[in-house]
Amino acid sequence: MSNSSFTPVLSNRDMGNAIHDEVVPAEHPWSGIVRKGQVFRIIDSEGCQAVDTLFYSLADHTERYSAQDTVLAQGAPYIGPGSVLYSNRGNPLATVIADTSGSHDTSAGACSCESNTVRFGHQTKYMHACRENFLIAVSRHGMGKRDIVPNINFFMNVPIDPDGTLAIADGVSSGGDYVEMVAHQDLLCVISNCPQVNNPCNGFDPTPIRVLVWAD
C-alpha cells in the first residue's frame, strides 16, 4: 500500500559508508547517540511498522523532543520532508532531509499496558508495549517514567477527522521505506520498535527495522 499523494524525497547516501548500521529486532527498544551534523536514518525493513521515537539533548536530558512545539512551528500535524523537530525549549533538534513514506504521526503517542487494557480489554494487560520499551531504553541513561514524553510515530498512519478525532489506520509504508534526519545538536535517540498487535499500526505483525548513522 502506498501514499499516492506523497512525493518522496530521496537520499543519495551510500549505506556502505555509514558509521553505524544496526538491525533492531521486532518489538525491541533501541538507543544511540547521534552527534551534531551527523545524519540518522530509520528504515522500515518490511513495511507497515510503527517506529516510536524520542530525541533528547545529549548535554541535558531535560531538553527533549516536543510534539507541541514541533506542530506549532510548522503549522501541520504530521512529520515529513523539511520538518524541523523542536525541543521543549524551542531549539531545533533535527531536520527531516529525506523521506520515502510521509505523514509520520506525532499526535497519537505511545501504546502502554494501561492503554491496551482500556482500548482492547483486560486480556491484553500482559502484552509488552512501547511505553515499557521506552522505560527500558531511557533507564540505561539515568532517566525514568517522567522523562517519557509524547513521541513521533514514524511510518504510523493516523488520519485526523474534521472533528479532531484520531484513528489508527492501515500503514502506508512499504518495505525499504526510510526517513532521514540531520542532527542540529548532539542527541540521544530512543526508539521503541512497536510491539502492538491489537491495531493495524504494524499490520498486526511487528517486524525488524534498521538504523544507520553517517558522519555527515
pLDDT(37) > 70: yes
Q: Residue 69: what residue type?
A: D
Which is it for strands 209-214 and 20-24: parallel, antiparallel or unpaired? antiparallel
Mean local confidence (pLDDT), 65-91: 97
Give dist(CA 54, CA 150) in Å, integer. Answer: 8
Mean local confidence (pLDDT), 28-47: 98
Give dist(CA 2, CA 15) in Å, integer. Answer: 24
pLDDT at residue 1 in the model: 40
Mean local confidence (pLDDT), 55-60: 98
Mean local confidence (pLDDT), 160-168: 83
Give dist(CA 179, CA 155) in Å, integer. Answer: 9
- The residues facing 208 across adjacent strands are none
Mean local confidence (pLDDT), 2-30: 92
pLDDT(127) > 60: no
